[in-house]
Amino acid sequence: MLPSGPIPPLSESRPSNARRAIAIVAYVAVWTAIGALFAVQSIVTYSYSGTRTMSAARILGYALADWYVWAFLAPAIFWLTHRVSFTRHPWRSAAIHLPATFVFLFARMQLRLLVGQFIPAVRMGPAGLLTSMALQVFVYWAIVAVAVALEYQQMYRDEQVSAVGLKTQLARAELGLLKMQLQPHFLFNTLNAISEQVHADPEAAERMITHLSELLRHTIHSAEAQEISLGEELALLERYLVIQQARFGGRLEVTLDVDAGAMEALVPNLVLQPLVENAIRHGIAPRASGGRVDVIVRRDLVKTHLLLEVRDDGIGLEAARARRRSEPDSREGVGIANTTSRLRQLYGGDYELTLQNGPTGGTIAALTLPLHDTVLAQTTSAAVRLPAPNGRVIHAA
Q: What is the pLDDT along the chain (397 residues), one digit of tens a residue?
A: 334 444 444 444 455 788 888 888 888 898 889 888 888 888 887 777 666 567 778 888 888 888 888 889 999 988 888 887 777 777 888 888 888 888 888 888 888 888 888 888 777 777 767 777 888 888 888 888 888 888 888 888 877 776 666 565 555 555 444 444 445 556 666 677 777 777 777 777 777 788 777 766 766 665 567 788 899 889 888 888 887 887 787 788 999 999 988 899 999 887 888 899 889 888 898 888 889 999 999 998 787 899 999 999 999 888 888 887 776 554 445 567 777 877 887 888 889 999 999 888 899 999 999 998 754 434 333 333 333 344 333 332 2
152 in the same domain as 205: no
Contacts (Cβ under 8 Å, ≥6 apart) of 42: 59, 63
Phi and psi, residue 125, nearest 5° = -85, 170
Vertex 230 angle, CA 396 and 306, to 5°: 110
Please give the single-letter amino acid code of residue 236: L
Within a domain: 191: no
Q: Give the Cβ contact number of residue 149 at 10 Å.
A: 10
* Residue 180 half-sphere exposure toward CB, CA atoms < 13 A: 6
290, 157: one domain:
no
Please report the pLDDT score of residue 353 as a whole number.
92
The C-alpha angle 224, 233, 165, rounded to 5 degrees, equals 30
- Pairing type for strands 352-357 and 252-258 reads unpaired
| CATH number of the domain bearing residue 246 | 3.30.565.10
Task: Please tell me whether residues 130 and 228 are part of one structural domain.
Answer: no
Give yes or no: residues 117 and 201 share one domain: no
Q: What is the pLDDT of residue 293?
A: 94
Flag whether 107 is in a domain: yes
Q: Residue 220's domain spans which residues?
A: 196-394
Residue 180 falls inside a structural domain: no
Query: What's the confidence (pLDDT) of residue 342?
Result: 78
The total of structural domains in the chain comes to 2
Q: Do both 262 and 364 map to the same domain?
A: yes
pLDDT of 170: 52
Instruction: Report the alpha-carbon distance of residue 235 to residue 231 in Å, rounded.
Output: 6
Q: Are 278 and 154 in the same domain?
A: no
CA 290 vs CA 66, 167, 205, 277: distances in Å: 93, 46, 20, 14
DSSP assignment string, 54-73: S-HHHHHHHHHHHHHHHHHH
Other beta carbons less than 10 A from residue 361's beta carbon: 14
Cα separation, 140 vs 109, whole angstroms: 13
23 and 114: one domain?
A: yes
The neighbouring-strand residues paired with 368 are: 307, 352
- Does residue 372 sit in helix, strand or coil? coil
Residue 172 is assigned to a structural domain of this protein: no
Residues 108 and 219 in one domain: no
Judgement on whether residues 123 and 251 belong to the same structural domain of the protein:
no
Query: Residue 377: what pLDDT?
Result: 38
The pLDDT value recorded for residue 378 is: 40
Last residue of a domain, one of 116, 141, 163: 163
The predicted pLDDT at position 297 comes to 94
> Could you tell me if 220 and 191 are in contact, meaning their C-beta atoms sit under 8 angstroms apart?
no
Q: Which of 163, 184, 218 is the last residue of a domain?
A: 163
What is the spatial distance between Cα 305 and Cα 372, in angstroms, rounded to a whole number? 8
Q: What is the pLDDT of residue 325?
A: 75
> Does residue 290 fall inside a structural domain?
yes
Burial of 199 (C-beta count, 10 Å sphere; 0-12/13-18/19+): exposed
Last residue of a domain, one of 163, 182, 213: 163
352 phi/psi in degrees, rounded to 5: -150, 130
133 vs 124: CA distance, rounded Å: 14
Q: For residues 138 and 169, what is the distance between their CA atoms, to the nearest angstrom?
A: 46
For residue 168, tell me if it sits in a domain.
no
366 belongs to a structural domain? yes
Give Cα separations from 28 to 24, 31, 67, 342, 364 (angstroms). 6, 5, 10, 52, 68
Q: Can you give the C-alpha Rg of the chain in angstroms?
A: 37
Same structural domain, 202 and 149: no
Residue 172 is predicted with a pLDDT of: 55
Is residue 175 situated within a structural domain?
Answer: no
pLDDT recorded at residue 376: 42
144-149 long-range contacts, CB within 8 A, separation 24+: 144/77, 144/81, 144/86, 144/97, 147/77, 147/78, 147/81, 147/82, 148/81, 148/86, 148/87
Is the distance from CB of 217 to CB of 367 less than 8 angstroms? no
